[in-house]
Amino acid sequence: MSMLLTSQNSWVSKLNRKLTTTLFVYCFFTTSISHAYDSGGTKDLQVHGFVAQGIIDVNGSDFVSDDQGLSLELTEIGINASYQLTSDIRVAGQAVYLDGGNRYNKGTRVDYLLVEWALQNTENWQTKLYLGRIKNYHWLYSSTRDVPMARPSIILPQSVYFDATRDMSIGGDGGAIATRYSNENVGDIDITASMSASTLSKTQTTIVMGSRSRGRLNHENDFQGSIYWTPSNSQWKFGIATTNADFTYKQGEQDVFLDGGLALERFYFNAEYQAENWTFSTELLQENIDLYGLLSPDFTNVKRGQGGFVQGQFTLTPELQLLARYEHYYADKDDKNGQQLERESGGAVPNYFGYQYDTTLGLKYRIDSNIELQFEHHWIQGTARLTPILIPEPRVNKEEYWQLWALQLMYWF
Protein backbone atom coordinates (compact mmCIF):
# COMPACT_ATOMS: atom_id res chain seq x y z
CA MET A 1 0.00 0.00 0.00
CA SER A 2 2.81 2.42 0.87
CA MET A 3 4.51 1.71 -2.49
CA LEU A 4 1.22 2.43 -4.31
CA LEU A 5 0.77 5.72 -2.47
CA THR A 6 4.37 6.67 -3.22
CA SER A 7 3.83 5.94 -6.92
CA GLN A 8 0.60 7.96 -6.98
CA ASN A 9 2.24 10.87 -5.16
CA SER A 10 5.15 10.78 -7.62
CA TRP A 11 2.78 10.89 -10.59
CA VAL A 12 0.76 13.76 -9.05
CA SER A 13 4.01 15.62 -8.44
CA LYS A 14 4.96 15.18 -12.11
CA LEU A 15 1.54 16.44 -13.14
CA ASN A 16 1.87 19.53 -10.94
CA ARG A 17 5.34 20.31 -12.32
CA LYS A 18 4.14 19.82 -15.88
CA LEU A 19 1.13 22.08 -15.47
CA THR A 20 3.20 24.71 -13.68
CA THR A 21 5.76 24.77 -16.50
CA THR A 22 3.04 24.92 -19.16
CA LEU A 23 1.25 27.79 -17.40
CA PHE A 24 4.52 29.67 -16.90
CA VAL A 25 5.43 29.49 -20.58
CA TYR A 26 1.87 30.44 -21.56
CA CYS A 27 1.89 33.47 -19.23
CA PHE A 28 5.25 34.54 -20.66
CA PHE A 29 3.90 34.37 -24.21
CA THR A 30 0.68 36.24 -23.44
CA THR A 31 2.52 38.93 -21.45
CA SER A 32 4.94 39.44 -24.35
CA ILE A 33 2.06 39.71 -26.80
CA SER A 34 0.20 42.24 -24.66
CA HIS A 35 3.40 44.30 -24.39
CA ALA A 36 3.86 44.17 -28.16
CA TYR A 37 0.36 45.52 -28.78
CA ASP A 38 0.70 48.17 -26.06
CA SER A 39 3.95 49.28 -27.69
CA GLY A 40 2.30 50.19 -30.94
CA GLY A 41 0.83 47.09 -32.58
CA THR A 42 -1.22 47.83 -35.71
CA LYS A 43 -3.78 46.05 -37.82
CA ASP A 44 -0.92 44.95 -40.08
CA LEU A 45 0.48 42.87 -37.19
CA GLN A 46 -1.33 39.64 -36.42
CA VAL A 47 -0.24 37.59 -33.39
CA HIS A 48 -1.78 34.28 -32.34
CA GLY A 49 -0.81 31.48 -30.03
CA PHE A 50 -1.89 28.21 -28.49
CA VAL A 51 -1.21 26.00 -25.50
CA ALA A 52 -2.18 22.33 -25.36
CA GLN A 53 -1.56 19.86 -22.55
CA GLY A 54 -2.64 16.28 -22.46
CA ILE A 55 -2.25 12.80 -21.07
CA ILE A 56 -1.29 9.81 -23.21
CA ASP A 57 -1.22 6.14 -22.29
CA VAL A 58 0.53 3.58 -24.49
CA ASN A 59 0.28 -0.11 -23.70
CA GLY A 60 2.63 -2.43 -25.60
CA SER A 61 5.18 -0.20 -27.36
CA ASP A 62 7.72 2.58 -26.77
CA PHE A 63 5.87 4.97 -29.10
CA VAL A 64 5.97 7.65 -26.38
CA SER A 65 8.10 6.34 -23.51
CA ASP A 66 10.28 3.32 -22.80
CA ASP A 67 8.34 2.44 -19.64
CA GLN A 68 5.08 2.35 -21.67
CA GLY A 69 3.01 3.92 -18.91
CA LEU A 70 0.74 6.89 -18.44
CA SER A 71 2.61 9.99 -19.59
CA LEU A 72 2.26 13.78 -19.59
CA GLU A 73 4.53 14.05 -22.63
CA LEU A 74 1.80 15.61 -24.73
CA THR A 75 2.64 19.31 -24.56
CA GLU A 76 2.43 21.86 -27.39
CA ILE A 77 2.93 25.59 -26.87
CA GLY A 78 3.31 27.97 -29.77
CA ILE A 79 3.23 31.58 -30.87
CA ASN A 80 2.95 32.78 -34.45
CA ALA A 81 2.90 36.23 -35.98
CA SER A 82 2.66 37.91 -39.36
CA TYR A 83 3.28 41.48 -40.46
CA GLN A 84 2.13 43.05 -43.73
CA LEU A 85 5.11 45.16 -44.83
CA THR A 86 3.52 46.29 -48.10
CA SER A 87 0.49 45.31 -50.13
CA ASP A 88 2.61 42.59 -51.77
CA ILE A 89 5.05 41.50 -49.04
CA ARG A 90 4.32 39.79 -45.73
CA VAL A 91 6.63 38.26 -43.12
CA ALA A 92 5.48 35.41 -40.89
CA GLY A 93 6.90 32.99 -38.35
CA GLN A 94 6.11 30.51 -35.63
CA ALA A 95 8.06 29.24 -32.62
CA VAL A 96 6.93 26.26 -30.57
CA TYR A 97 7.82 24.20 -27.52
CA LEU A 98 7.03 20.49 -27.86
CA ASP A 99 7.22 17.52 -25.54
CA GLY A 100 6.10 14.29 -27.20
CA GLY A 101 8.42 11.72 -25.64
CA ASN A 102 9.97 9.36 -28.18
CA ARG A 103 7.84 10.79 -30.99
CA TYR A 104 10.14 13.75 -31.68
CA ASN A 105 12.79 16.00 -30.19
CA LYS A 106 11.74 17.68 -26.94
CA GLY A 107 12.27 21.45 -26.72
CA THR A 108 11.83 24.67 -28.65
CA ARG A 109 12.19 25.20 -32.39
CA VAL A 110 11.26 27.65 -35.11
CA ASP A 111 8.78 25.91 -37.39
CA TYR A 112 8.86 28.62 -40.03
CA LEU A 113 10.17 32.16 -40.55
CA LEU A 114 9.52 33.39 -44.05
CA VAL A 115 8.91 36.24 -46.44
CA GLU A 116 5.83 35.92 -48.64
CA TRP A 117 5.86 37.96 -51.85
CA ALA A 118 2.74 38.24 -54.01
CA LEU A 119 4.19 38.22 -57.53
CA GLN A 120 0.93 38.11 -59.44
CA ASN A 121 -2.70 38.82 -58.58
CA THR A 122 -5.16 38.94 -61.46
CA GLU A 123 -8.69 37.71 -61.98
CA ASN A 124 -7.55 34.19 -62.89
CA TRP A 125 -3.96 33.93 -61.62
CA GLN A 126 -2.34 34.36 -58.20
CA THR A 127 1.33 33.58 -57.67
CA LYS A 128 3.32 33.81 -54.43
CA LEU A 129 7.01 33.33 -53.64
CA TYR A 130 8.18 32.15 -50.21
CA LEU A 131 11.75 32.53 -48.96
CA GLY A 132 13.35 31.62 -45.62
CA ARG A 133 12.32 28.75 -43.37
CA ILE A 134 9.34 27.80 -45.46
CA LYS A 135 6.29 25.66 -44.71
CA ASN A 136 5.30 22.42 -46.40
CA TYR A 137 2.03 23.02 -48.28
CA HIS A 138 2.10 19.81 -50.30
CA TRP A 139 0.31 17.12 -48.26
CA LEU A 140 -3.27 17.15 -47.09
CA TYR A 141 -2.42 18.16 -43.49
CA SER A 142 1.21 19.25 -43.80
CA SER A 143 0.46 22.99 -43.46
CA THR A 144 -1.75 22.52 -40.37
CA ARG A 145 -0.05 19.69 -38.46
CA ASP A 146 1.97 22.21 -36.39
CA VAL A 147 -1.20 23.68 -34.81
CA PRO A 148 -3.05 21.23 -32.50
CA MET A 149 -6.59 22.62 -32.93
CA ALA A 150 -6.26 22.56 -36.74
CA ARG A 151 -5.47 18.84 -36.90
CA PRO A 152 -8.23 16.25 -37.25
CA SER A 153 -6.71 14.22 -34.39
CA ILE A 154 -4.09 14.52 -31.67
CA ILE A 155 -1.89 11.99 -33.44
CA LEU A 156 -2.00 12.14 -37.22
CA PRO A 157 -1.92 8.96 -39.35
CA GLN A 158 1.61 7.63 -38.94
CA SER A 159 1.45 5.93 -42.33
CA VAL A 160 1.90 9.36 -43.94
CA TYR A 161 2.66 11.86 -41.13
CA PHE A 162 5.51 10.01 -39.42
CA ASP A 163 6.20 11.79 -36.10
CA ALA A 164 9.89 10.85 -36.12
CA THR A 165 10.41 13.15 -39.13
CA ARG A 166 8.01 15.86 -37.93
CA ASP A 167 10.51 18.75 -38.00
CA MET A 168 11.77 17.87 -41.48
CA SER A 169 8.22 17.46 -42.76
CA ILE A 170 6.98 20.82 -41.45
CA GLY A 171 9.33 22.60 -43.87
CA GLY A 172 12.93 23.71 -44.18
CA ASP A 173 15.34 26.45 -45.17
CA GLY A 174 14.91 27.35 -48.83
CA GLY A 175 12.22 28.65 -51.14
CA ALA A 176 8.82 27.81 -52.63
CA ILE A 177 6.58 29.14 -55.36
CA ALA A 178 2.81 28.63 -55.40
CA THR A 179 0.41 29.42 -58.24
CA ARG A 180 -3.39 29.27 -58.27
CA TYR A 181 -5.46 29.31 -61.46
CA SER A 182 -9.19 30.00 -61.01
CA ASN A 183 -11.80 29.50 -63.71
CA GLU A 184 -15.60 29.30 -63.47
CA ASN A 185 -15.70 26.21 -65.67
CA VAL A 186 -12.56 24.42 -64.48
CA GLY A 187 -12.46 25.39 -60.81
CA ASP A 188 -9.30 26.08 -58.80
CA ILE A 189 -5.92 24.53 -59.64
CA ASP A 190 -3.06 24.98 -57.13
CA ILE A 191 0.50 24.17 -58.17
CA THR A 192 3.34 24.39 -55.61
CA ALA A 193 7.05 23.57 -55.85
CA SER A 194 9.67 23.91 -53.12
CA MET A 195 13.34 23.21 -52.44
CA SER A 196 14.70 23.20 -48.89
CA ALA A 197 16.79 21.40 -46.28
CA SER A 198 16.64 21.06 -42.49
CA THR A 199 19.31 21.05 -39.80
CA LEU A 200 18.98 17.93 -37.64
CA SER A 201 20.07 17.83 -34.02
CA LYS A 202 21.86 14.92 -32.38
CA THR A 203 18.63 14.02 -30.60
CA GLN A 204 16.78 13.87 -33.91
CA THR A 205 19.54 11.64 -35.29
CA THR A 206 19.14 9.31 -32.30
CA ILE A 207 15.35 9.14 -32.77
CA VAL A 208 15.78 8.03 -36.39
CA MET A 209 18.96 5.93 -36.13
CA GLY A 210 18.72 4.57 -32.58
CA SER A 211 20.46 5.01 -29.24
CA ARG A 212 23.66 3.28 -30.46
CA SER A 213 24.21 5.96 -33.08
CA ARG A 214 27.21 8.23 -32.35
CA GLY A 215 27.27 10.16 -35.62
CA ARG A 216 25.15 12.84 -37.25
CA LEU A 217 22.41 12.57 -39.84
CA ASN A 218 22.31 15.43 -42.34
CA HIS A 219 19.37 16.49 -44.49
CA GLU A 220 21.07 17.49 -47.73
CA ASN A 221 18.14 18.55 -49.90
CA ASP A 222 14.40 18.13 -50.23
CA PHE A 223 12.46 18.84 -53.43
CA GLN A 224 8.66 18.70 -53.23
CA GLY A 225 5.90 19.41 -55.70
CA SER A 226 2.12 19.17 -55.66
CA ILE A 227 -0.98 19.83 -57.76
CA TYR A 228 -4.47 20.25 -56.24
CA TRP A 229 -7.71 20.56 -58.13
CA THR A 230 -11.03 21.75 -56.69
CA PRO A 231 -13.64 21.37 -59.45
CA SER A 232 -16.07 24.22 -60.02
CA ASN A 233 -19.22 24.00 -57.86
CA SER A 234 -17.89 20.85 -56.21
CA GLN A 235 -17.24 19.82 -52.62
CA TRP A 236 -14.38 17.57 -53.72
CA LYS A 237 -10.66 18.35 -53.70
CA PHE A 238 -8.06 16.09 -55.35
CA GLY A 239 -4.29 16.24 -55.02
CA ILE A 240 -1.08 14.54 -56.08
CA ALA A 241 2.34 15.29 -54.60
CA THR A 242 5.91 14.07 -54.67
CA THR A 243 8.94 14.28 -52.39
CA ASN A 244 12.58 13.64 -53.31
CA ALA A 245 15.00 13.94 -50.38
CA ASP A 246 18.61 12.95 -49.69
CA PHE A 247 20.24 12.28 -46.33
CA THR A 248 23.85 11.51 -45.44
CA TYR A 249 25.24 10.00 -42.26
CA LYS A 250 28.67 10.88 -40.84
CA GLN A 251 30.12 8.20 -38.59
CA GLY A 252 30.99 9.15 -35.01
CA GLU A 253 33.55 7.71 -32.61
CA GLN A 254 32.87 4.10 -31.53
CA ASP A 255 29.81 4.11 -33.76
CA VAL A 256 27.91 0.99 -34.84
CA PHE A 257 27.15 2.74 -38.14
CA LEU A 258 29.50 3.67 -40.96
CA ASP A 259 29.39 6.63 -43.31
CA GLY A 260 26.45 6.26 -45.64
CA GLY A 261 23.15 7.73 -46.61
CA LEU A 262 19.54 7.43 -47.59
CA ALA A 263 17.66 8.54 -50.68
CA LEU A 264 13.91 8.93 -50.20
CA GLU A 265 11.33 9.24 -52.95
CA ARG A 266 7.63 9.57 -52.11
CA PHE A 267 4.43 9.81 -54.14
CA TYR A 268 1.07 10.87 -52.67
CA PHE A 269 -2.52 10.87 -53.82
CA ASN A 270 -5.24 12.42 -51.71
CA ALA A 271 -8.89 13.38 -51.93
CA GLU A 272 -11.28 15.18 -49.62
CA TYR A 273 -15.04 15.72 -49.69
CA GLN A 274 -16.56 18.35 -47.41
CA ALA A 275 -20.31 18.24 -46.77
CA GLU A 276 -22.27 20.40 -44.36
CA ASN A 277 -21.94 18.07 -41.36
CA TRP A 278 -19.29 15.57 -42.37
CA THR A 279 -15.93 15.30 -44.14
CA PHE A 280 -14.37 12.32 -45.90
CA SER A 281 -10.64 12.28 -46.61
CA THR A 282 -8.08 9.79 -47.84
CA GLU A 283 -4.37 9.89 -48.56
CA LEU A 284 -2.29 7.16 -50.19
CA LEU A 285 1.49 6.91 -50.15
CA GLN A 286 4.18 4.95 -51.94
CA GLU A 287 7.82 5.51 -51.02
CA ASN A 288 11.12 4.22 -52.37
CA ILE A 289 13.90 4.06 -49.77
CA ASP A 290 17.45 3.48 -50.97
CA LEU A 291 19.98 2.83 -48.18
CA TYR A 292 23.72 2.65 -48.83
CA GLY A 293 26.73 2.22 -46.56
CA LEU A 294 25.78 2.52 -42.86
CA LEU A 295 26.09 -1.20 -42.03
CA SER A 296 29.05 -2.07 -44.28
CA PRO A 297 30.98 -0.22 -47.01
CA ASP A 298 29.20 -2.09 -49.82
CA PHE A 299 25.78 -2.36 -48.16
CA THR A 300 22.77 -1.39 -50.27
CA ASN A 301 19.09 -1.97 -49.65
CA VAL A 302 16.12 -0.76 -51.66
CA LYS A 303 12.60 -1.01 -50.26
CA ARG A 304 9.26 0.22 -51.52
CA GLY A 305 6.98 1.17 -48.66
CA GLN A 306 3.27 1.66 -49.05
CA GLY A 307 0.54 3.09 -46.85
CA GLY A 308 -2.44 5.33 -46.49
CA PHE A 309 -5.63 6.08 -44.57
CA VAL A 310 -9.34 6.71 -44.95
CA GLN A 311 -11.03 9.02 -42.48
CA GLY A 312 -14.45 10.40 -41.66
CA GLN A 313 -15.31 13.36 -39.45
CA PHE A 314 -18.90 13.84 -38.32
CA THR A 315 -20.37 16.96 -36.71
CA LEU A 316 -23.18 15.88 -34.37
CA THR A 317 -23.76 19.27 -32.76
CA PRO A 318 -21.97 22.63 -33.04
CA GLU A 319 -19.90 21.56 -30.03
CA LEU A 320 -19.32 17.84 -30.69
CA GLN A 321 -17.47 16.18 -33.54
CA LEU A 322 -16.64 12.47 -33.99
CA LEU A 323 -13.77 10.91 -35.93
CA ALA A 324 -13.24 7.43 -37.37
CA ARG A 325 -10.10 6.38 -39.25
CA TYR A 326 -8.38 3.29 -40.57
CA GLU A 327 -4.81 3.24 -41.84
CA HIS A 328 -2.13 0.79 -42.91
CA TYR A 329 1.58 0.87 -43.68
CA TYR A 330 3.94 -1.72 -45.16
CA ALA A 331 7.69 -1.20 -44.80
CA ASP A 332 8.09 -3.24 -47.99
CA LYS A 333 5.08 -3.73 -50.25
CA ASP A 334 6.68 -6.92 -51.59
CA ASP A 335 6.86 -8.31 -48.03
CA LYS A 336 3.54 -7.23 -46.53
CA ASN A 337 3.48 -9.94 -43.86
CA GLY A 338 7.09 -9.28 -42.80
CA GLN A 339 8.17 -12.92 -43.25
CA GLN A 340 11.17 -12.01 -45.40
CA LEU A 341 12.25 -9.38 -42.86
CA GLU A 342 12.21 -12.01 -40.11
CA ARG A 343 14.16 -14.51 -42.22
CA GLU A 344 16.83 -11.98 -43.25
CA SER A 345 17.39 -11.02 -39.60
CA GLY A 346 17.72 -14.64 -38.53
CA GLY A 347 14.61 -14.28 -36.38
CA ALA A 348 15.99 -11.33 -34.42
CA VAL A 349 13.37 -8.97 -35.89
CA PRO A 350 9.81 -10.37 -35.70
CA ASN A 351 7.64 -10.22 -38.80
CA TYR A 352 5.28 -7.66 -37.27
CA PHE A 353 7.95 -4.98 -37.76
CA GLY A 354 7.09 -5.17 -41.45
CA TYR A 355 3.58 -3.70 -41.16
CA GLN A 356 1.29 -1.52 -39.05
CA TYR A 357 -2.50 -1.21 -39.00
CA ASP A 358 -4.33 1.40 -36.92
CA THR A 359 -8.03 1.80 -36.22
CA THR A 360 -8.84 5.10 -34.49
CA LEU A 361 -11.97 6.53 -32.90
CA GLY A 362 -12.02 10.02 -31.46
CA LEU A 363 -14.07 13.03 -30.47
CA LYS A 364 -13.68 16.77 -30.11
CA TYR A 365 -15.74 18.84 -27.71
CA ARG A 366 -15.79 22.63 -28.10
CA ILE A 367 -16.00 24.02 -24.56
CA ASP A 368 -15.81 27.62 -25.69
CA SER A 369 -14.98 29.51 -28.87
CA ASN A 370 -11.25 29.04 -28.19
CA ILE A 371 -11.14 26.06 -25.81
CA GLU A 372 -11.41 22.47 -26.99
CA LEU A 373 -11.07 19.02 -25.44
CA GLN A 374 -9.99 16.17 -27.69
CA PHE A 375 -9.93 12.42 -27.00
CA GLU A 376 -8.95 9.44 -29.15
CA HIS A 377 -8.25 5.72 -28.88
CA HIS A 378 -6.03 3.70 -31.23
CA TRP A 379 -6.08 -0.08 -31.73
CA ILE A 380 -2.83 -1.02 -33.48
CA GLN A 381 -1.38 -4.18 -35.01
CA GLY A 382 2.28 -4.18 -36.01
CA THR A 383 5.24 -1.91 -35.26
CA ALA A 384 6.58 -0.79 -38.66
CA ARG A 385 6.16 2.89 -37.75
CA LEU A 386 8.11 2.80 -34.49
CA THR A 387 11.59 4.27 -34.18
CA PRO A 388 14.44 3.70 -34.72
CA ILE A 389 14.02 3.11 -38.45
CA LEU A 390 17.22 1.31 -39.43
CA ILE A 391 17.60 -1.23 -36.63
CA PRO A 392 14.25 -2.03 -34.90
CA GLU A 393 13.99 -2.54 -31.13
CA PRO A 394 12.16 -5.87 -30.62
CA ARG A 395 13.58 -6.10 -27.10
CA VAL A 396 11.33 -3.21 -26.05
CA ASN A 397 8.49 -3.69 -28.54
CA LYS A 398 7.50 -7.27 -27.89
CA GLU A 399 3.81 -6.94 -28.68
CA GLU A 400 2.28 -7.28 -32.13
CA TYR A 401 -1.02 -5.85 -30.84
CA TRP A 402 -0.90 -2.66 -28.80
CA GLN A 403 -3.13 0.28 -27.90
CA LEU A 404 -2.94 3.92 -26.98
CA TRP A 405 -5.33 6.61 -25.87
CA ALA A 406 -4.79 10.34 -25.56
CA LEU A 407 -6.67 13.24 -24.00
CA GLN A 408 -5.64 16.83 -24.72
CA LEU A 409 -7.02 20.20 -23.65
CA MET A 410 -6.32 23.07 -26.10
CA TYR A 411 -6.58 26.82 -25.76
CA TRP A 412 -5.79 29.37 -28.46
CA PHE A 413 -5.96 33.11 -28.99
The domain spans of the chain are 1-41, 50-412
CATH code of the region 50-412:
2.40.160.10
Q: Are 344 and 351 in contact (CB under 8 A)?
A: no
Residues 310-333 have pLDDT tens digits of 999 999 999 999 999 999 999 999
pLDDT of residue 20: 46
pLDDT of residue 73: 97
pLDDT of residue 18: 53
Rounded to 5°, the CA angle 265-155-162 comes to 15
**CA distances from residue 290 to 17, 352, 355 in whole angstroms, order as listed:** 44, 21, 18
DSSP character at residue 352: G
Residues 273-313 have pLDDT tens digits of 999 999 999 999 999 999 999 999 999 999 999 999 999 99
| Res. 3: pLDDT tops 50 | no
Q: Are 339 and 345 in contact (CB under 8 A)?
A: no
Residues 65-114 have pLDDT tens digits of 988 889 999 999 999 999 999 999 999 999 999 999 999 999 999 999 99
Phi, psi values for residue 117, rounded to 5° = -120, 120
Give dist(CA 143, CA 171) in Å, integer: 9
Q: Are 44 and 83 in contact (CB under 8 A)?
A: yes
Q: How many CB atoms lie within 10 A of CB 253?
A: 6
| Res. 39: pLDDT tops 50 | no
What mean pLDDT do residues 370-378 have? 98
Average pLDDT, the chain: 91
User: Among residues of the chain, what percentage have pLDDT more than 90?
Assistant: 82
What mean pLDDT do residues 367-377 have? 97
Query: What is the pLDDT confidence band of residue 191, given thresholds at 50, 70 and 90?
Result: very high
Query: What is the pLDDT confidence band of residue 186, given thresholds at 50, 70 and 90?
Result: very high
pLDDT of residue 155: 98
| Res. 129: pLDDT tops 90 | yes
| Res. 29: pLDDT tops 80 | no
Report CA 292 to chain centroid distance, whole Å: 26
Q: Full-prediction pTM beyond 0.75? A: yes
